[in-house]
Structure 1
Amino acid sequence: MTLFDDAAETLGRWQATSEAADLARKRTLELLSAGPVAMTREHRPGHVTASALIVDEQRRVLLCLHGRLGMWMQVGGHCEPTDGTLAQAALREATEESGIAGLRLDPDPIDVDIHPVRCAPAAGEPAGPTHHYDVRFVAVCPPGAVEQISDESADLAWFNAGELPSPLADGVVQQLAPAFARLAPAGPAQM
């Protein structure tokens, strides 16, 4: 199965966590009708990305202050040709951007969000607006792990759900309830 096939299968079977997420899921499936190019930056109308909201057992969230955008958000980004699944792409991005080894990722998405961005184009193409069709997952941090700021972030920090930083990227808050719903009282479920 290719990354494209996994994206279509994952979004085709996923039970959305909200009406907005279901609409975004349907729009992402429509985007995938363009074929595997919709998984890459070359597809200028938009492309699928993968991200992860990292949580710990105390129900805190690890957010990054995006270096270019200057907003706090979950970690994640573009899919790579070596990613076999959307979940693998989200886990790779979360590990790279948090510096935390041993994250446990739930393979079922918690959210899908579509938002405009200005991505670096493929070589020889003009820069311009596009959209990220971001498939979002939840990852649980192992106890005692220490985060490390990556080149893509200006900062990383843990926050309680009721005390989120500003400026906060659109779509972060909508991930909290479905992410915490995946945590059983004694620890993570399905992970």
Structure 2
Amino acid sequence: MLSFTDTKLLVEKYNAFNETEAAFKTQVLDFLEKNPHNFADRHNLNGHLTASAWILDATFQKCLLIHHAKLQRWFQAGGHIEPEDTSLEHAAWREATEETGLKSLETLSRYPQIWDIDIHPIPANKQMAAHLHFDIRFAFMATDKEILPQLSEITDIRWINLSELPNYNDSESLLRMKSKTLALCEKF
């Protein structure tokens, strides 16, 4: 089970990439303060924390995206936090392996633990009212490329060249993660 204290500290230590992400970080910290006991509960109508995985190949030139059946859009792997998740990073890793079938994902641990923070609305459906996902994202490198969609909520899964990412999803959120990847490559 996630620790409120560890989760809050992890978010506090994160250095935002730009003003948008800095605002998201502030909103996540405010949300945590107001929801210390149910911040990861998917039934919290104020919203809840989720965990995602920005998966890169070994060259850092491709990212792995899934096509979400209900939303009919391409996204990074990720989803809800489960009671057995001991950390947000573990939740992101678990979601990534469940959704992609990848067996070998390495955390890019030499970089800041959190890769990205995003807040996005989830539309109402038959089971739940509209709410927010306070998404905490981690970067992983896949050491194998054998992908097998594992869940019925995924209609397709692809390695995408970063240069082609806008053709699949041109949201500020994914383009920000692309920019971070390119900035990281420039350092080496």
Shorter-chain TM-score bucket reads 0.7 to 0.9
Given candidates 66, 71, 75, the residue that maps to 2:68 is 66
Q: How does 1:22-171 map to 2 (within 5 A)?
A: 22-33=22-33, 34-58=35-59, 59-106=61-108, 108-118=113-123, 127-142=128-143, 144-151=144-151, 152-164=153-165, 166-168=167-169, 170=171, 171=173
SS of the residue corresponding to residue 10 of structure 1 reads helix
Distance 1:16 1:79 in 2: 22
Letter in 2 for 1:35: P
CA 128–166 in structure 1, closer or farther in 2 if over 3 Å, else same: farther
Identity %: 31
Deviations 1:57-83 (A, max 9, x none): 232011001111110110000111111
| TM-align CA RMSD | 2.1
Distance 1:41 1:179 in 2: 30
In structure 1, the partner of 2:176 is: 174
TM-score by length of 2: 0.87
Deviations 1:64-113 (A, max 9, x none): 01111110110000111111111111111111111101201235112111
Distance 1:138 1:28 in 2: 19
Is contact 2:50-2:78 (8 Å) kept?
yes
Is contact 1:52-1:138 (8 Å) kept?
yes
- Tell me by how many angstroms 1:167 deviates: 4.9
Distance 1:97 1:179 in 2: 22
- Tell me by how many angstroms 1:120 deviates: 6.5
Distance 2:92 2:174 in 1: 15
- Tell me by how many angstroms 1:118 deviates: 3.2
Letter in 1 for 2:120: H
Letter in 2 for 1:110: W
Letter in 2 for 1:116: P
Distance 1:165 1:137 in 2: 20
- Tell me by how many angstroms 1:53 deviates: 0.9
Is contact 1:99-1:148 (8 Å) kept?
yes
CA 106–7 in structure 1, closer or farther in 2 if over 3 Å, else same: farther
Is contact 1:72-1:165 (8 Å) kept?
no
Is contact 2:2-2:83 (8 Å) kept?
no
Distance 2:18 2:124 in 1: 27
CA 18–79 in structure 1, closer or farther in 2 if over 3 Å, else same: same
- Tell me by how many angstroms 1:52 deviates: 0.8
SS of the residue corresponding to residue 20 of structure 1 reads helix
Q: How many residues align?
A: 180
CA 11–159 in structure 1, closer or farther in 2 if over 3 Å, else same: same
